[in-house]
A = this chain, B = another copy of it.
Amino acid sequence: MSQHSTSIEQRLSDLGIILPTPAAPVANYVGAVLTGSTLIVSGQLCFDAAGKLAPDHIGKMGDTATMEDGQAAARLCVINVLAQIKAVVGSLDRVSRCVRLGGFINCRPDFASLPQVMNGASDLMVEVFGDAGRHARSTIGVAQLPLNALVEVEGLFEIK
């Protein structure tokens, strides 16, 4: 690695992460909206690099999915959040702070280990952005998510 390879996109590459091309919106909403210096990113599901929900990332925590499945799903959600940021503001280097992540975990009513699942999202955010990736966070367990996805993550970012 060159001594100049400090960009966020290089860091993603070092982590072996390839950002997917965000799917074109299929309804009257968009992946992210910039207002002033704040970027609001739509709730992203745990689609994989092929744009599909893997069988392990469908359903509810507390049924057959393991904690590792949940954390991997939360990590995928963040990758899709990053792809939406890049699509709207052009480069992840324009992110000065991850301000907030909202984590929605599809779960049985008796599954309370929700923060551990969401750590899969938060950990990746800090791997990618360092201290600028430390965010406020709300994590809740929901009755259902679009497409029966295991996890959905929304985000709010400060853009420079």
Which residue numbers of A lie inside 8 Å of B, CB to CB?
A: 27-33, 35-38, 40-43, 60, 97, 99-102, 104-105, 107-112, 114-115, 119, 122-123, 125-126, 133-148, 152, 154, 156, 158
Q: Which of A99, A105, A133, A146 has the most CB of B within 10 A?
A: A146
B144 touches A100 (CB 8 A): no
Bound CA span A72–B112, Å: 21
| Chain B residues with CB under 8 A of A134 | 28-30, 33
Knowing A33-B100, A36-B37, A99-B40 touch, does A28 contact B140 (C-beta < 8 A)? no
Q: Which of A125, A133, A154 has the most CB of B within 10 A?
A: A154
